[in-house]
A and B are shown apart, each in its own frame.
Chain A
């Protein structure tokens, strides 16, 4: 009941004060939905690519993500810093969401290092963050196609050191697709758990104008 009252108050406040300061600021920033991520000027369709999941099964991106809020990230399991931080942040937040909300979210990790990232290795790595995360691999061409479709820079292998280890450059942003399979928002590195907690439920609720 208390919650219900609060909702009414909130609605009234918005209705009476259309020029609310935070809304005005959001509009000025080109973000009319009040999201913490960067809303794309133009929504991009889910790449038409078939990857392989960590069970070795074909994973058709468009078919599997229909109706889900999908977070897609390109990275690699030897990644020391950016990749585990993104994955840990998302995992921590998804576990705090209401189960009905969490059930509508899919987190996809696509390796940019298919030579070293076997499906088993990806599975073990992802389980550090959340066992529900979906790990995907494919040939280099398929990975590049998916990156290109999202206007992301292609991943690049760095030089090997004396032990044969090498680093992989890759897009640092997580791409969020709404349930209509359109990429709408990018989350750069530096995005925080509080930002995910703020945006994830909203991404499922927003009525997007145009596409």
Chain B
């Protein structure tokens, strides 16, 4: 209940402070897709920075190259890697949502023409407040996916 009130307050502040503007905005960084290794799916990784005082929510994604996109996240911690599909992911106020190898990621399902490393594709992310945001996604090999994840992990250490 406390949390709900705080969200309401935050929304109010944003609405007033921006002269009635109710849309938020988010920045998408470090976006890349893994070159698919089967005909059904491709993983997309990205970071979302929410500079506003109100949380936002990633509620969907579309791309011309796939029939559908799912959000996957790892269930619990421990020796087993179990992923599950989730309908949405929150981007905290003044915080990050990170989609990264071994954690949450976007799964593009049932691919059209299979993208290969070096290609780029359009991806439209749908946020509850910020609305749709389209980004260009470079496709890289899994070898590069692994190295990028390592570099990002080092940078945050």
Contacts and interface: CB of A to CB of B under 8 A. Distances in A.
B partners with A: yes
Interface of A: 77-78, 80-82, 84-85, 87-89, 91-92, 121, 124-125, 128-129, 152-153, 156, 158, 161, 163, 165, 167, 169-173, 189-190, 192-194
Contacts of B41: 78, 80
B146 A163 contact: no
B123 interface: no
Contacts of B21: none
A85 B105 CA distance: 13
Interface in B104-157: 105, 107, 109-110, 141-143, 145-147, 149-150, 153
B146 A88 contact: yes
A173 B102 CA distance: 12
Interface of B: 34, 37-38, 40-43, 68, 70, 72, 75, 78-85, 101-102, 105, 107, 109-110, 141-143, 145-147, 149-150, 153
Contacts of A128: 37, 142
Nearest to A85: B146
Contacts of A190: 102, 153
Given A88-B145, A125-B37, A167-B72, A80 B79 contact: no
A192 B80 contact: no
Contact of A92 (B40, B68, B143): B143
B80 A171 contact: yes
B38 A77 contact: yes
Most buried by B among A84, A161, A170, A193: A84
A193 B147 contact: yes
A54 B16 CA distance: 64
A193 to B, nearest CB: 7
Contact of B146 (A124, A165, A169, A193): A193
A163 B37 contact: no
Contacts of B107: 80
A180 to B, nearest CB: 24
Most buried by B among A77, A81, A152: A81
